[in-house]
Amino acid sequence: MSDTRSKPRHRRRRTVLLAGAPLAVAAAAALAYGGGFLGADGADSASAATAADAATAAAWADDTADGFASVDAQGQDGTYGGRGGETVTVKTLADLEKYATASKPYVIVVAGEIKMDPVGKEIKVASDKTIVGAGTAGHIVGGGFFLGTGVHNVIIRNLTIRDSYQGTWNDKDHDFDAIQMDGAHHVWIDHNDLRRMADGLIDVRKDSTDITVSWNKLSNDNKAFGIGWTENVVTDITIHHNWIRETEQRNPSTDNAAHAHLYNNYLQDDAGTDITSSYGNYSRGKTKMVLENSYFQGVNNPVIKDDTATLVQRGSVFSGTSGRNESGGTAFTPSDFYAYTLDKAADVPGLLKSGVGPRSSIGTASATAETKAAASTLTVAADGSAQYKTVQAAVDAVPANNTARVDIKVAPGTYRGTVTVPANKPHVTIVGTGSSRKSTVLVEGHAAGTKKPDGSTYGTSGSATVTVLAADTQLRNLSVSNDYDESKDTSIAAQAVALRTSADKVFLDSVITSGDQDTLLLDGAGKRVYMKDSYVVGNVDFIFGGATAVIDQSVITLKKRWDGTSAGYVMAPSTAAGKKGLLVNRTTISGDVSADSFHLGRNWHAGGDASLDPQATVRNSTLGAAIKAKPWTDMGGFSWKDDRFAEYKNTGDGAGSASADRPQLSDAQAAQQEVADWLGDWTPTAS
């Protein structure tokens, strides 16, 4: 078929989302905190917005797409979704499907977690719809959306769509996508978090065109983003400011696209993870691709093309990549179709890590990322090239009782010394700016029995390298270590904490915590901690405390003791009665230690307190051969069988069947011990 889309088309002036400054959803954010569109009775069913609510919603409901989704074509004047239609709020699958499939235009606000039934269900969205999450609360779990032939003018924004994964990364049996298009046009996919689906995260298929995909996080999946499935050269697509990480293929794969414009995307593949990239951006068939100012980190074959395709690339950064990096031919000039502004490629990782995915609060259309960052970012570099030379100095500079988030960006390097985030400095993010979590290391070497200058000892909690006492603290993309060497003095108490938390809503994202005994102290009854995509290294009680804590999609590494022996305990919960304790979910527990040498945990009744009710659940995880056949054991004269210890559907050489020594949850019990049950109304989001 001949290419009829090669000439520039008429463009209208329209309001677009500025780079780095999303119009986060004001009215939707209100929903998450009790205001907004819900009826006076607080019912879970959909309800129409009041006139005042509709006026508030106009700030985002009237927003229109940029890129190819903004052009006038096929009788459609850009992409504006359900603008002009009724605004409704949904919290059930029935209501979401009712309004998404309706023939009338709707602005549909998803105000909670909606589970697809059956798993893999894809709601068939009709034309003229805006589907948007309420703050960060809108989750679609176990399925997604399908846009069929002729469906047009659809906006999907500010949602998390996740977890239809069926246990096999390269899944050939389940076509469960987050968003699939077959012959749709004028679609804008913006500021979503898409992960762990059974097939692809986004499929743009069968002559779908006039598509923009922007400011999304696509992660932890075999196939990220496929474009094509047709011999026709029709598709026009813009892909910008997306963070694609830990995906093997289709990053994206672009087949027979008339015009594919990719810019300011961040492709990341960390070494040592379950998923290894096969390739990055791929121009296939007769595609014409323009690739600008993107950042490729650790990706194999970062840019490839077929002999029949064209690919023009300029301005990108390649860090730790290997294999094919190709270009060739002439393509097109994107500015002939729409206006756009490029960010510097070197700035892309930091810009996207803080800017992609669902947003919890409203910005303004005129505020750029740089303007917002100027008042809320502090920088640290050990060589003196930043505002501060130590992390603690930057923390000290945060105003007491601050109400807005402050990002402390720490340059790669090793920073020796302790760091404390005090309770009166909430909403602080400490983030390493290096290429991996190993690049930025916070380290100290105090043990519980180490003497202070005044002659007293640090004690266990005081030995921590990093102490978090402030609510809503985030640590991201860095390592926290306690390198105390037990062999140097075996006469003193050897507990040596790397990281201690004693605050609610602490988010540990892509962090390594390493030590020997008592590495990670999660303090505070009922105080919530969420760790994901992280590593914890140690040997004795190295994940312990009374917090309500989740370790999700991570690696727990078992380490030999200072004398070379293999023996230890992974967890020592000290949970208060009536509170939730430690939950390990979808995590690998293994290490270079002897088989049958480590307990999963023991019950810590701190101070001999019989009223405590320690809890640890390990579920859907992979257990190495080091885990004992009787994984739980007693501590301090208290029987673990009187407390709460269980497993559910674990695999690996260290897993085992149900017995009196190895309690297993029933399916019904497991349904009450999921991540959402631990976190409650909190949805951790990188910010």
End-to-end CA distance of the chain: 46
Token duo for residue 410: 């720490």
d(CA 637, CA 603): 10
Whether 45 has a pLDDT exceeding 70, the answer reads no
Neighbouring-strand partners of residue 359: none
- pLDDT, the chain, mean: 87
Q: Return all residues near 172 (Cβ < 8 A) that are at least 6 apart.
A: none
Cα 88 to Cα 32, 60, 401, 527, distances in angstroms: 15, 14, 36, 34
Q: Is 677 helix (H, G, I), strand (E, B) or coil?
A: helix
Cα 61 to Cα 25, 65, 88, 138, 360, distances in angstroms: 9, 11, 12, 16, 16
d(CA 338, CA 335): 5
Q: Which residues are catalytic?
A: 250
d(CA 40, CA 34): 11
Query: Lowest-pLDDT range, 64-68, 542-546, 638-642?
Result: 64-68
Token duo for residue 334: 């994107």
Q: Is 418 helix (H, G, I), strand (E, B) or coil?
A: coil
User: Rounded mean pLDDT of 223-232?
Assistant: 92
pLDDT, residue 220, reads 87
- Give pLDDT tens digits for 192-218: 999 988 878 999 999 999 999 999 999
d(CA 556, CA 560): 13
Whether 175 has a pLDDT exceeding 80, the answer reads no
Query: Lowest-pLDDT range, 39-43, 300-304, 346-350?
Result: 39-43
* Backbone torsions φ then ψ of 97, nearest 5 degrees: -65, -35
pLDDT, residue 168, reads 73
Nearest-CA neighbor of 574 among 538, 536, 537, 616? 616
Q: How confident is the model at residue 314 (pLDDT cuts 50, 70, 90)?
A: very high
pLDDT, residue 63, reads 66
Q: How confident is the model at residue 274 (pLDDT cuts 50, 70, 90)?
A: confident
Angle, vertex CA 289, rays to CA 283 and CA 293, nearest 5: 105
pLDDT, residue 387, reads 87
CB atoms within 10 A of CB 344: 12
Q: Are 217 and 193 in contact (CB under 8 A)?
A: yes
User: Rounded mean pLDDT of 52-71?
Assistant: 62
Whether 21 has a pLDDT exceeding 90, the answer reads no
DSSP per-residue codes, 580-613 = --EEEES-EEEESS-TT-EEEEE---GGG-TT--
pLDDT, residue 559, reads 97
Q: Is 512 helix (H, G, I), strand (E, B) or coil?
A: strand
Q: Are 505 and 482 in contact (CB under 8 A)?
A: no
Whether 6 has a pLDDT exceeding 50, the answer reads no
% of residues, the chain, pLDDT over 90: 75
- Give pLDDT tens digits for 118-164: 999 999 999 999 999 988 889 999 999 999 999 999 999 999 999 98
Pairing of strands 295-297, 266-268: parallel
- Give pLDDT tens digits for 526-553: 999 999 999 999 999 999 999 999 999 9
* Backbone torsions φ then ψ of 35, nearest 5 degrees: -105, -165
Query: Lowest-pLDDT range, 14-18, 47-51, 165-169, 256-260?
Result: 14-18
d(CA 145, CA 434): 36
Angle, vertex CA 514, rays to CA 512 and CA 520, nearest 5: 90
Token duo for residue 30: 């209100």
- Give pLDDT tens digits for 77-88: 899 999 888 999
Q: Can you list the alpha helix ranges (DSSP code H) found in 361-410?
A: 369-374, 391-397
pLDDT, residue 207, reads 96
Nearest-CA neighbor of 466 among 415, 532, 516, 427? 415
